[in-house]
Chain A
Amino acid sequence: MQKTTFIVIAVVLAVAAAISGAWFAARLGAPPAPPEHARLLSTPRPVPAVPALDHRGADFGRADYEGRWTIVFFGFTHCPDICPTTLNVLAGARRLLDDLPEAARPAVTMISVDPGRDTPERLAEYVPFFHPEFRGVHVAAQHLPELARSFGAAYAYAPLEDENYTVDHTASVFLVDPEARVAGVFPTPHTAEGIATDMRRIMDLENRR
């Protein structure tokens, strides 16, 4: 007898769950697809307020991240391979998102890990070459560690010949949400299509919240 009651209750609960599930699904439409390449942080971390300049020499701060998604790359201009490769991929991803309303298109920012050589003037000669809306950001050497740490990015200087040096750096691409919080990361390798598709999915997920 008790067993029958249990079964009846279980069936009633299952039916109720199915109906409410169907109701929610119908109300919300198809469930949003999760991003394929990006890893989203369960707890986004606020970008710390450190003094910075963009490539036009204007102050660049938390307010510049607010109101739209920003794709952030840590790179440097004396970087012959991985930085131009990544900036080209990001330019491709941005162009694939040109159909979105202007405010919904993600901003793209390269934060220099080589503040000694990458002055704002030098960043101005370099970063917008890849896409006219890309911004280069110069952060003084004493503030760079704190900023990089908040993203989970690392960099180290490695000597080359003739007192020249190169910079080992995190090649992953980061995502800052419209509330100026580090919200996700695109691990390597990157493709324009992969990043563009994921950006649509991430913004779609956000809009449904």
Chain B
Amino acid sequence: MKLTCLFRAGLLALLLCAGHGAQAETTQAEAKASDAERPAVTDAWVRRVPPAARMTAGYLRIHNPGPEPVAIIGAGSPFFGSVEMHGTITVDGMSRMREHERLEVPAGETLSFEPGGLHLMLMQAREAIPASGEIPFTLLLEDGRSIDFSASVGQPGS
């Protein structure tokens, strides 16, 4: 568990640092082809929380337009020391939260992270969690690609 975590953290750090270098190595044609099929993140937001809160949750939709399933195996943000994928499940009124190490987005489908279900659990805020503005994130995919996006801080419906 710890090792997997370290490995994932290391992989993520590598990708965050070297992501742009690796991208530059792909040819223009390859880049164009993969752009059309690149999973896209939309409607990303982070729940605004009381100033004292040390953690919050991030929500988003990820669409996979490609012909193959893609799997998310990690997430990171420079604003947080730890970002995990969690799912809240409510059974018989009892709500439980558990980590997901891998989430698959089937070909042509959209996976939604939304309140009461999947969420990015954002922990160890480096500074106070901002009450507004945008927070940058990176999702790490199993095939080695990563997706950068930013999420606005707010409340649902505002």
Contact = CB atoms under 8 A, between A and B. Distances in A.
A168 B119 contact: no
Nearest to A158: B96
A129 interface: yes
Contacts of B119: 80-81
A172 B93 contact: yes
A143 interface: no
Contacts of B88: 81-82
Contacts of A164: 123
A188 B1 CA distance: 33
A34 interface: no
A189 interface: yes
Contact of A188 (B47, B55, B90): B90
Contacts of B95: 82, 168-171, 188
B94 A169 contact: yes
Interface residues of A, number: 28
Given A80-B119, A80-B122, A154 B5 contact: no
Interface residues of B, number: 30
A84 interface: yes
Interface in B90-133: 90, 93-97, 99, 115-116, 119, 121-123
Contacts of A166: 97
B116 A85 contact: yes
Nearest to B119: A81
Contacts of A206: none
A161 B5 contact: yes
Most A CB contacts (10 A, CB to CB) among B2, B50, B119 go to: B50
B93 A188 contact: yes
Contacts of B121: 80-81
Contacts of A78: 54-55
A82 B97 contact: yes
Contact of A125 (B52, B90, B99): B52
Interface string A155-196: 000101100101011111000000000000101110000000
A82 B51 contact: no
Nearest to A130: B50
Interface string A117-144: 0000010011001000000000000000
Contact of B156 (A88, A126, A172, A188): A88
Given A82-B116, A84-B47, A85-B116, A77 B94 contact: no
A126 B52 CA distance: 7
B34 interface: no
Contacts of A80: 47, 55-57, 86, 119, 121-122
B116 A81 contact: yes
A171 B132 CA distance: 28
Given A80-B57, A85-B116, A88-B156, A170 B94 contact: yes
Interface of B: 1-2, 5, 47, 49-57, 86, 88, 90, 93-97, 99, 115-116, 119, 121-123, 155-156
24 contacts: A77-B53, A78-B54, A79-B97, A80-B56, A80-B121, A81-B88, A81-B97, A81-B116, A82-B97, A85-B115, A85-B116, A88-B155, A125-B52, A126-B53, A158-B96, A160-B99, A168-B94, A168-B96, A169-B95, A170-B93, A170-B95, A171-B95, A172-B93, A185-B93
Nearest 4 CB-CB pairings of A with B = A125-B52, A129-B50, A171-B95, A80-B57
